Amino acid sequence: MQSIRRGLLAGTLAGLLLVGLLFIDEGPGNQFSLVARAFALGDDSGSKGVSALLLIGLGGLLGGLFGLLLRHRAVSHAQSLCAGLVVGVGWWVVLFGLLGALVQRLPFSLYSLLLYLVLSLVYGMILGSLYWLSPLERGRWLPGDG
């Protein structure tokens, strides 16, 4: 249960970071219109807000699944990062490849494809890193000078 909770927390935080990065690009928040269209939502500002919330929620959900899959394994940091990257690639393929390009037939430019690939990998990296770094189990938040 604790590993699912750790994954949920790590995934939600990684989703939040993704939203922060997407908010800045083509900002403020205009990149969310593409995400909203991938989710088959409209293109107005309300849909952008909903798609931001969906990204955070989906991030948490995937994080929970990540924790569920790794619950009986003692993973090293490198393994956790690699597993996170695999989740990131999966996120990109499903959300932008299947939903966006194939189902919704969105016109992705080369830059958009690169951008979403990098951001999906960032999600995976942060998920893997925070899952491993999680203070719930490891108690690694050591004090320092600053």
Q: What is the dihedral of CA 99, 63, 88, 72, to 10 degrees?
A: -130
- CB nearer to other proteins: give 50 or 117: 117
- CB nearer to other proteins: give 107 or 146: 146
Residue 118: CB minimum distance to other proteins, A: 6
85-114 residues in contact with other proteins (CB under 8 A) are 109-111, 114
Contact status: 72 vs other proteins (CB under 8 A): no
CA distances from residue 51 to 13, 15, 64, 69, 95 in whole angstroms, order as listed: 16, 11, 20, 26, 12
Near other proteins by CB under 8 A: residue from 17, 54, 56, 95: 17
Q: How wide is the angle at C-alpha 59 spanned by C-alphas 46 and 89, nearest 5°? A: 115
Near other proteins by CB under 8 A: residue from 4, 21, 75, 93: 21
Contact status: 146 vs other proteins (CB under 8 A): yes
CA distance 50 to 71: 31
Contact status: 54 vs other proteins (CB under 8 A): no
Do residues 78 and 36 touch, judged by C-beta distance below 8 A?
no
Q: How many residues does the chain have?
A: 146
The binding site for other proteins (CB under 8 A) comprises 17, 21, 24-25, 77-78, 81, 109-111, 114-115, 118, 121-122, 125-126, 129-130, 133, 140-146
